[in-house]
Chain A
Amino acid sequence: MRRWIAITALLVLAGSAGACAKMLGLEQERKDHAFEHRAHLVEGINCLECHAGIPEAGDTGPLHFPTTADCIECHQEPHNPDTCGDCHGRARNRHAAEMARRHLRFSHAQHGEAGAGDCVRCHVNVTVDSDYLRVKHPTCFSCHAHKGQWYSRDCGGCHVDLPGEMALPESHVIHDGNFLREHGVQANAQADLCTTCHTQRQCAACHGVTVPTIPSRFRFDQPMRNTMHRANFISVHDQQAAADPGQCVVCHSELFCVDCHTRLGISGQNPMHGNPHPPGWSGPPGSQNLHGQAARLDPLSCASCHSGAGEALCVSCHVVGGPGGNPHPPGFSSRLDMRNDLPCRLCHLGAP
């Protein structure tokens, strides 16, 4: 009995592992594999015997992949009645070649001349049966003209439409991981590199002052998009702001909070919401005056409601000679003109 239980358990385990392997993509659904370029090369078969017409190919026109008929010229007794390309050579690589044909300005005719018909000089991965034969940037940059184009961020010399080509960067900044967090500092250092792929519209969708709604709400049918404000961000936005106030001010001015809260009626002035401050918040000198310490700990929280015209509330007490006392921390200095510049002149009315 125990033996049967063990066998059944093993079968279930094996079945689950098989299902898991398929689900996780460990077991490939497709039967195709990298083409055996190296084997052909070792046999001394010239590239042009299969890829006929390449030396004359311009940057438009058909791709020069061999057909089953081409294969049968040598492999006269195929082991399988299916089309050879179904297994030999990956479909995704052929798709990549089609994308390159559509999006690259590249003429084999010109490059064949430069390389004296030596394909391997650029397609180095042929020699190792690699999965991917597209020529990499360093090979292109070995030519002086392309080096110059790279430095001047002039990708248009070869790439007709980089965003449309959907080519991921591999020779410079990689966008995996939490690139949403990392992108700002990279863009500050080399914004012109970013703009070779990314349009202004992509920047403005988040950083634009006049955006009509947040990206996660506008693109509600794309829940996998990694955005700064998730659709349910609103329920924790106050805590997020308190935890990292500097992050909000990178994009939003303090007036943004005032503006939105006032228009939506979520403020202390709204009788429905009442006074947001606890008892003892402010009072005459000598009383608890909790607001002073709170303002020093997080001035932006105060600014998020009391900016603009709301500042008058502070100045009613903290004016020079008034009961509010000096709000400056020790060692405070400023290059503003005390008599003429805001915010100094709000309090220093009679400054010499």
Chain B
Amino acid sequence: MRRLAVGVGAALALCLAAPTAPATAQPHTLGAELWGQLEPNLGLLVIEGSSRKYPYVDVEGLVWAGAGTPQFGLRDNVLRAEALVLAIKLRDPKGVSDTRLGRFILSTGAVRAVHVDGGHTILRAPSKTNFELFGGVPVEGDVEGRRYDWIAGGRISQGLGKRGVIGGSYYNRHNAGQRSDEEVGVDFSLRAAHWLDMAAKFSWELVNPGIAEIIATVSSQTKNRKLRGEVFAIKRNPTRFLQQTSLFTVLGDLGTLRTGGNLFWRAAPRLDFWVEGAANQAQDRWGWSGYFRSVLRTDDEGKGSVLGEIRRQAIPSVSEWTGFRLAAVIPIYENVNESVGLMPEFELIVPDERDSVTGYVWPWGRLALRWMHRKGWTLAAAAEASANQYVRLDVRALARVAYQHAWRGKR
């Protein structure tokens, strides 16, 4: 795997060097970000880049290095570096095949998004039939846990004119050398009319036979896109999502169901509303969840905006709380080259079950200031404070320095 990473890294470096050849000038980007947090202390350096040699090869990478208080991938205040993405995509000039190699997110057919070190290839037949093959080693934060892990599978799909696609897929995943997931799935996506989109997915677990997941969504929008509505249903059996090597998969599965709809309405050129409501089933109980959100842009370009949101989740004895959120982007200075903005954000969670131990309300707030320059520089700093059932008062400072450079051109 290390050789593969070195190879992909070398390819990335070569392609980033390509802008010196004006005859093949293509989009190339290179960016770096420094991100820091005080209390708990944390520092990150993120480097990202991408390059393209049309139509043969795309390369992209995002690596980070950091140290600080343990969280996510960081441990024990020791400097650590990780590649989040390091991938090369090869395609033949006629578009018959695409192949991606390296570290990337694999998501196709029955496979839910999996971070893998591996490959994925698509072969396209003239009859609009696509054949996909994929395989690799799932990425785990803990390297020790990756021994003898692998995932492999394939998908066949058929294009439905220019309106959509229907597919069938299979994948098999081994964990520590033992079968942990084996699923078959059917999926489709269809744009039945210019105002009607629909998509669905069904997957069946073979190791511990049963439905793993069913998702269906139908959405519709008006021609001027001022109104868009969606109805959806999601049925999941979470223990079939667990690796079947887990003891908890033997307990059976009540499953969860969520079904409802949402509506987006551009009430005025600068005013948008969202509303969503859904019935939820969890732990053999029924409840509901929903939100109402509104965004008002303070100028035609949307440089400034104000957001208000109310959210409610009510599944008795499982999850009962109400949230209120306010956020704004306030431009305070702008000229041709640079802009300065202020971003206050505040959220208040009111749990239904409250007492003096957990607290009666859980407030959270942040005030950020950002300077951006046309040449790709961004400087931002923020102060954040919160109180919840875990900590009585948490105060943090955040800072970010970013630079993004792009070479763009045409043959």
| Residues of A near any B CB (own CB < 8 A) | 23-26, 28-30, 59-60, 102-103, 105, 141, 147-154, 156-157, 160-161, 164, 171-174, 176-178, 181-182, 184-192, 199-201, 203-205, 207-213, 217-218, 220-224, 230-232, 234-236, 239-240, 242-247, 249-251, 253-256, 259-260, 263-264, 266, 295-300, 302-303, 306-307, 311, 314-315, 327-329, 332-336, 341-344, 346
Contacts and interface: CB of A to CB of B under 8 A. Distances in A.
Nearest to B163: A172
A243 B217 contact: no
A242 B249 contact: no
Interface in B377-410: 378, 380, 382, 384, 386, 388-390, 398, 400, 406, 408-410
Nearest to A240: B319
Contacts of B44: 212-213
Contacts of B313: 236, 239-240, 243
A316 to B, nearest CB: 12
Contacts of B242: 249, 253-254, 300, 303
A201 B48 contact: yes
Contacts of A259: 141-142
A209 B142 CA distance: 10
B191 A173 contact: yes
B115 A303 contact: no
B100 to A, nearest CB: 8
A199 B89 CA distance: 11
Chain B contact residues: helix, strand, loop or mixed: strand
Nearest to B271: A24
B95 A149 contact: yes
A38 B182 CA distance: 61
B105 A204 contact: yes
Contacts of B7: none
8 contacts: A23-B270, A28-B300, A105-B410, A192-B122, A236-B362, A243-B319, A311-B246, A329-B251
Nearest to A186: B199
Interface size band for B = 35 or more
Contact of A200 (B60, B187, B264): B60
A29 B185 CA distance: 52
A176 B362 contact: no
A218 B408 contact: no
Contacts of B176: 342
Q: For B238, B305, B411, which residue has the most chain A Cβ atoms within 10 angstroms?
A: B238
Contacts of B259: none
A223 B112 contact: no
A332 B165 contact: no
Nearest to B91: A154
Contacts of B105: 200, 203-204, 207-208
B119 interface: no
Given A154-B95, A232-B386, A210 B141 contact: yes
B238 A249 contact: yes
Contacts of A300: 238-239, 242, 248
A247 to B, nearest CB: 7
Nearest to B217: A182
Given A24-B271, A176-B221, A296-B254, A204 B85 contact: yes
Given A148-B95, A264-B70, A296-B252, A221 B247 contact: no
Contacts of A187: 107, 113
Contacts of A253: 140, 242-243
A244 B225 contact: no
B206 interface: yes
Nearest to B314: A243
Given A245-B238, A300-B242, A311 B107 contact: no
Contact of A172 (B191, B251, B366, B390): B191
